[in-house]
Amino acid sequence: MPYSHHSHSGQFCGHAKNTLEEVVQDAIAKGFHTFALTEHIPRPIEDFYPEEADSHTAESLAKLFDDFLVEAARLREAYAPRIKLLIGFESEWIRPSTHQIIQGIMERYTFDFFMGSIHHCHTIPIDFDRATYEKARDAAGGTDERLFEDYFDEQYGMLQALTPPVVGHFDLIRLLSDHRDADFKGMDGVWKRMQRNLEYIASYDGVLELNSAGLRKGLAEPYPCSPVCLAFLRMGGRFVMSDDSHGTDQIATNYPRLLQYIRKVGINDVFFVDKEAAPNDSRIAAGFSSITVDKLIRLPFWTTAQ
Ligand SMILES: [Zn+2]
Ligand SMILES: [Zn+2]
């Protein structure tokens, strides 16, 4: 019975499918032990995605997030005997107002945990489509290397401001670049920044998510790629698993490959957010527990996983 710390539903996310309840039922059917509901935080109108421009105002997008939390709490209670649902959110890091939005929701609600992610650089989306990626790359000076440096600098700002308990898709910037499967070895400025960020995450006991969506999108390795995992392991870093699903057909996809990857990079313990473990962060309601990879491999989940 494995774990996922990152999901979206069509009910509360414009580029996902299915209701939140269908997502939960599918996670139960697939044998998840712990499954986190983590919709995106609201964004101001200047940062709307095209699909939101027709159907939303800034107010309605903010209300959608509030509605998500009400429905997530109902489902967590209703399905408690069958699955441990966690309620969190996935951050953005776009402009100074992003920090205010995050502070606002954290003042109003208590989350089991949250995930620090960035999807923009120079305020431009970097994982939306190739044309938008190229705009961001131009804004950074025209090369992948410059944009990667800026991405990891902006991520460092996010990490310092939020100290997120879990860091989402650490190297998402690879996705639409010409260096999708780069090992970053020729990019000294990029690699230095990545190491700095990893050291910072390790310093406050932050956890990296192993995100199988990278595989779904055709990358050779999940996020983060193996040089990152190896560097973080050497720092004593911890990892959680995620499918980053955007609907039932993506729940647990590529989990067997993710498990192979975990073994290949030499991770011996997989962590998960656990409401029964004491939080070591006063802002959130849950702590972390772990399972050895030897035990994880023997769970019945893997006989039915795709
Ligand atoms: Zn994300
Ligand atoms: Zn996501």
Q: Containing H/E element for 263? A: helix 255-265
What average pLDDT does the chain have? Answer: 96
- Identity (one letter) of the amino acid at 155? Q
Express each pLDDT in 53-97 by its tens digit.
888 999 999 999 999 999 999 999 999 999 999 999 999 999 999
Q: Containing H/E element for 234? A: helix 226-234
Give the Cα separation of 68 and 192 in Å (integer).
Answer: 38
Q: With bands split at pLDDT 50, 70 and 90, how would you rate the model's confidence at 198?
A: very high
pLDDT for the residue numbered 54 = 87
Tell how far the Cα of 119 is from the centroid of ligand 2, in angstroms: 9
What is the average per-residue pLDDT within 258-265? 97
What is the average per-residue pLDDT within 245-263? 96
pLDDT for the residue numbered 1 = 63
Q: With bands split at pLDDT 50, 70 and 90, how would you rate the model's confidence at 20?
A: very high
Tell how far the Cα of 243 is from the centroid of ligand 2, in angstroms: 9
Q: With bands split at pLDDT 50, 70 and 90, how would you rate the model's confidence at 140?
A: very high
pLDDT for the residue numbered 305 = 61
Q: With bands split at pLDDT 50, 70 and 90, how would you rate the model's confidence at 306?
A: low
Give the Cα separation of 261 and 252 in Å (integer).
Answer: 15
Token code pair at residue 216: 């779904």
Please tell me the number of the ligand nearest to residue 89's CA.
2
Tell how far the Cα of 268 is from the centroid of ligand 1, in angstroms: 26
Token code pair at residue 87: 């309620």
Tell how far the Cα of 246 is from the centroid of ligand 1, in angstroms: 10
**Smallest Cα–Cα separation from 87: which of 71, 101, 103, 100?**
71
Residue bearing the bigger pLDDT, 50 or 179: 179
Contact 20, 12 (CB under 8 A): yes
**Smallest Cα–Cα separation from 12: which of 54, 57, 69?**
69
Tell how far the Cα of 175 is from the centroid of ligand 1, in angstroms: 12
Q: For the chain, what percent of residues have pLDDT higher than 70? A: 99
